[in-house]
Amino acid sequence: MTEIMAEMRGDETTGRTWLKILLPRILRAAGWGLLMGGELLIMSYIPEVGGELYRYLPIEPMEFSNFLILFIFFEVTIQLLRGTIFPYALRTARALISMILLVTITNGGVMTMTIQSTPETPLPTGMGIILSIDFKAVLSVFLLLSLLSIIKNVLNAIDFMAKTEETGFPLELP
Amino acid sequence: MRQSVRALGLTVTISLLLLFAFLATAIYSVVQTSLVERGIELGETQIRVFNNEFMLSIPLKVNNTGYYDLTEVRITTTLTSREGGVLAANTTTIDMVERGISVTAIHRLSINMEDLLTNMTYLLVNDTHFNMNSSIGFRYAHVLSFQITVTNTTMPWGAPFSALNLTGVSHPLFNGTHLLLDVALEFENHSFSDVMGTLHFKAYNRGGTYIGSGEDFLYAPIGSGPIEPVNAVITVDNFSNITGEGYLEVSLDTSFLENPLELGRLDYD
């Protein structure tokens, strides 16, 4: 890294130098993207696995895919922009979006599912089974921790700004 | 500042890990307890009629084999008529079942037969069904609440005087003091216990003049009709009114009816 920085500070940056900078970032971003939702997204597209998965999830398959794509996008962007102020802003945005999505998807911590009659488990005509789960307390703790995470990222961003004020801004990517 | 932010980050990470670990163990434990080991079980429903009370008893057994306490275990049942009116509702609660402990409670739902049959007389002679909505809920590990509601379960109602029908009166006989008549009565007791009642008769001649009154006792065991033929023994008040033909007004009185049920008019000759 030091060699690269030295090279960059010296002569004109070559494509090879940029490749040396960008390739590890891209690989790292791909790895983290795969870890932070990519594997679920791939699995959800496999009919045998995805079908079973969506049977137990209280959200629409399309909604779930969009949710995963959004998080993968955030993670990949954060990893690509390491060393700049953007990851802090993106992490803050991600925490905020997760809070909103979680509250919306879980209906404020009270989820209700209606069990339908199936050929395997037939129900008498007119009979209905409703399963309701209330986890408002757990959701509140999660939201509180997300808020703390937002505060942490804001403080990190301030710290980063203070540090760069002293050491100077890093070189911009092409 | 960097150290403080790092400490804050570490706190959030550790707290999140603890939260997920708690959630994972709680969900695993509740699934094991309620679904795999059937720790929350409803016993066989028992129905009995005692002192004009129609009583439904459901044993609720809670065996907490999980890692956390079960609290506010609650069973609620609501019995509604075919028209949707609430006939009875009750809730039974077990405050706490600590882990490793087993608790049994009996959930009861009772209906006063007098209230029921006074308001819905047709239930005396017509078989039908009631709808039952029941829900069972509990709080697990003090923070997770689960509730299962089963709606529109049907419960058959067997009428104590099912398909009651007065078909006719025959062999009128006057013995000097009483007017004796054989009353053809058909019904079947479909209820959960033997039924008893009293048939009241009022005799009139063809012109509608009152002759006298009488009564007969009625008894039918579960699943069958009256065990003895019905005889109307009319104590005659005014002999001069007997013309040999006329009609009987019949009403039925049972312990679960506030007022006698009018069964109609039967001609005799």
Q: How close B89 gets to chain A, by Cα (Å)?
A: 19
**What are the chain A neighbours of B151 within 8 Å (beta carbons)?**
127-130
Dig out the tokens for A57 from the structure. 């999830």
Search chain B and give the residue with CA nearest A113.
Answer: B148
Last residue of a domain, one of B157, B185, B210: B157
- What distance, in Å, lies between the first and last C-alpha atoms of chain B? 111
List the CATH number of the domain containing B24.
2.60.40
Q: Where are the domains of chain A?
A: 1-82, 86-174
Interface predicted TM-score (ipTM) of this complex, two decimals: 0.73
Q: Are A152 and B154 an interchain contact pair (Cβ–Cβ within 8 Å)? A: no
B146 and B177 in a single domain? The answer is no
- What distance, in Å, lies between the first and last C-alpha atoms of chain A? 17
Which range of residues forms the domain containing residue B184? Answer: 162-268
Looking at the 3D structure of chain B, how many domains does it have? 2
B24/A contact by beta carbon, under 8 A: no
B246 and B196 in a single domain? The answer is yes
pLDDT digits (tens), chain B, 269 positions: 778 888 998 999 999 999 999 999 999 999 888 888 888 888 888 888 777 788 889 999 999 999 999 999 999 999 998 888 888 999 999 999 998 999 999 999 998 888 888 888 888 888 999 999 999 999 999 999 999 999 888 888 888 888 888 888 887 788 888 888 888 888 899 988 888 889 999 999 888 899 899 999 988 998 888 888 888 888 888 788 888 888 989 998 888 777 888 888 888 87
How many angstroms separate the most distant Cα atoms in chain A? 80
B205 and B141 in a single domain? The answer is no
B204 and B245 in a single domain? The answer is yes
Instruction: Tell me which residues of chain B, numbers 145 to 164, contact chain A at a CB-CB cutoff of 8 Å.
Output: 145-154
Contact B127/B155 with Cβ under 8 angstroms?
no
Residue B33 CB contacts under 8 Å (≥ 6 apart), including other chains: B39, B40, B63, B64, B65, B66, B70
